Chain A
Amino acid sequence: MNRKRPVNLDLMTIKMPLAAYASILHRISGVFLLVGLGYLIWMFTTSLESRQGFDVVRETLNNPIAKFSLWVTLSAVIYHFVAGLKHLIIDLGIGETTEGIKVLSIAVLLIAGLLIVLTGVWLWA
């Protein structure tokens, strides 16, 4: 590699295409889920442990912060899921063009956004 090649270090001058945002969100949601999974696994094991454990999880979710945290975690799951589906679709050879990726990325953002909102409605309704 040419070590003297010009490097643009001013990140503010770089405009990312939409697919790049969809991609970085996939990574961010994935890294976040390492922690988020701990919360989901705590809910899972506690609720399965006993009737009392099940009620503990129920009561915990009455706390607005706990409920909001669950929504954030589920949002990461949803986004990561939908963005992952995009990869599987691309692997099937569908949308393997610059334009195709753009359409798929828009679809990922819209579908994930919709599911995240619906999950919020389901949690608070």
Chain B
Amino acid sequence: MGVMVQSITNLSRSGLADWMVQRFTAVVLAVFTVFIAAFIFLNPDLTYSQWSALFDLTWVKIFTLITVLSVVGHAWVGLWTVATDYIKPAMFRFVFLCVTGITLFVYLIITATALWG
């Protein structure tokens, strides 16, 4: 059972592909983090107008969506790895990964709605 749970829940069914996903999404997350940190840092008295104008730009919307998708992939690979390392009973691991998956899905929907809603 343990082995089955592992093989059916890892993102790409391949360790190498998971590793690639983790690196690629990490770069996206790093670039977005620096971008937002720089924007907030360079606008110390940030107003709503400036803030909403930034996220009215189509490329920023798309960049943000790609970032949230990267969060979903990155967090899934990371938490799957951590879960298979530390949570041995298959049932607990299954529940943990379910909660993780649902949480990430909700984050994606909430953010996408905020960007285009």
Contact residues of A with B, CB < 8 Å?
A: 27, 30-31, 33-34, 37-38, 41, 44-45, 47-51, 54-55, 77, 81, 84-85, 87-88, 91, 122
Contacts and interface: CB of A to CB of B under 8 A. Distances in A.
Report, as a range, how many residues of chain B touch the other chain.
20 to 34
Contacts of B75: 30, 33-34, 37
A41 B23 contact: no
B107 A37 contact: yes
Contact of A85 (B30, B55, B104): B30
Q: Report whether over half of chain A's contact residues are helix, strand or loop; otherwise say mixed.
A: helix
Interface of B: 23, 26-27, 29-30, 33, 41, 48, 51-52, 55, 71, 75, 78-79, 82, 100, 103-104, 107, 110-111, 113-115
Contact of A54 (B51, B103, B114): B51
